[in-house]
Structure 1
Amino acid sequence: MRKVIAAINMTIDGFCDHTAGLPDEEIHQHYTELLDQGDVILYGRTTYQLMEFWRTFLENPSEDESMNEFARAINKIQKIVFSHTLKNTDWESATVANLGLKETVSELRQQSGKNIFIGSRSLIIQLLKFNLIDEYQLCIHPVVEGKGLPLFENIQDRKILKLVKTKTFKGGVVALYYEPKQ
């Protein structure tokens, strides 16, 4: 069975904001390597549309090769977008989901392949409630944002996680790897 991994950036005060982090070469390399370990990533519409930014580097490469490598990795991986308003995509490796989130993840888990990544806060919250996440990879940036969307919002049931690994980056970012405690 394939592993479902929630991978997301957040601030030290618990907010998910793609503009609040401190991305650098090491962070880009980390996520490029992570994407190589999977073959599908699930997004909500908002995060998907933010990720479309990376398409610009395919035609107009950056001077920072780590950004170009990440752009190639995000371009290559299959993306499934969950949206009530978006009806189609023009990104060749992206499709709009035709099933609900729970059904899609259950179906993907039964197929052979690499890891299934969850890259949107809203999807992580929903899948947490369904107990369908096998691992949480929280990349904590040393920023106090003070506002935004908290990762674990509106969770009614207590969830206990077990820390299985940590990774510290030179720029002060810490990746925490958790699994649900059985």
Structure 2
Amino acid sequence: MRKVIAAINMTLDGFCDHTSGIPDEEIHQHYTDLLDNSGVILYGRITYQLMQYWQTLLKNPSGEKSMDDFAIAIDKIPKIVFSHKLENTEWDSATLSNQPLEKVVVELKQQPGKDILVGSRSLIIQLMVLNLIDEYQLCVQPVVAGGGLPLFENINTRTIFKLIKTKTFMGGAVTLYYEPANKKVTNR
């Protein structure tokens, strides 16, 4: 069975803000490898539209190998976008889902193939509530944003995680790899 992996960058103060991170060659290479070893990535509209930036590097490479390699990897991987507002994806490797998130993920998990990535905060929250995430890869950037969207906003259940490994980057970021250790218990 395929694993669902929630992979996201966040700040030390727990916010997910694409502009607050400190991407470098090593981080780009890490995410390029993750994409190359996965079968599909799921996005919500907002994150998907942010990721469309990488299409520009396919047409006009930056000259920085790690960024250009990431652009190729993000272009190749099939993307499923969950949105009520988008009418089309404008990206050949992306499709709009016409099914609910839970149904799509349950069906994908049953199919053979590489793991399923979830790259949007909103989808991570929804799938966490549905108890469908098998692994969390939280890349904590060495920066305090001072505000933004908290990763685990509106989670009303207690979830305990088991740390399965860590990866430290030379720039100071650390990816924490977690698995859920137990079933959720509603807080009272």
Alignment TM-score, normalising by the size of structure 1? 0.99
Tell me, in whole angstroms, the C-alpha distance in 2 between the residues paired with 1:144 and 1:66.
25
Q: Distance in 2 between matches of 1:101 and 1:87?
A: 17
| 1:8-157 alignment runs, 5 A limit | 8-157=8-157
- After the TM superposition, which parts of structure 1 deviate over 3 Å for at least 4 consecutive aligned residues? none
Structure 2 length-normalised TM: 0.96
Cα distance in structure 2, aligned partners of 1:70 and 1:142: 22
Question: 3-state DSSP class of the match of 2:40?
Answer: strand
Partners of 1:56 and 1:85 lie apart in 2 by: 23
How much identity, in percent, do the aligned residues show?
70
Question: C-alpha displacement at 1:98, in angstroms?
Answer: 1.1
Report the count of equivalent residues: 182
Structure 1 spans left out of the alignment, 5+ residues: none
Q: CA deviation at 1:90?
A: 1.2
For residues 4 and 63 of structure 1, the distance between their equivalents in structure 2, rounded to whole angstroms, comes to 33
Q: CA deviation at 1:87?
A: 1.8
Query: Which letter does structure 1 place at the counterpart of 2:32?
Result: T
State the one-letter code of the partner of 1:14: G
Q: Which runs of 5+ in 2 are unaligned?
A: 183-188
Alignment RMSD: 0.5
**Cα deviation, residue 61, structure 1:** 0.5
3-state SS of paired residue (1:70): helix
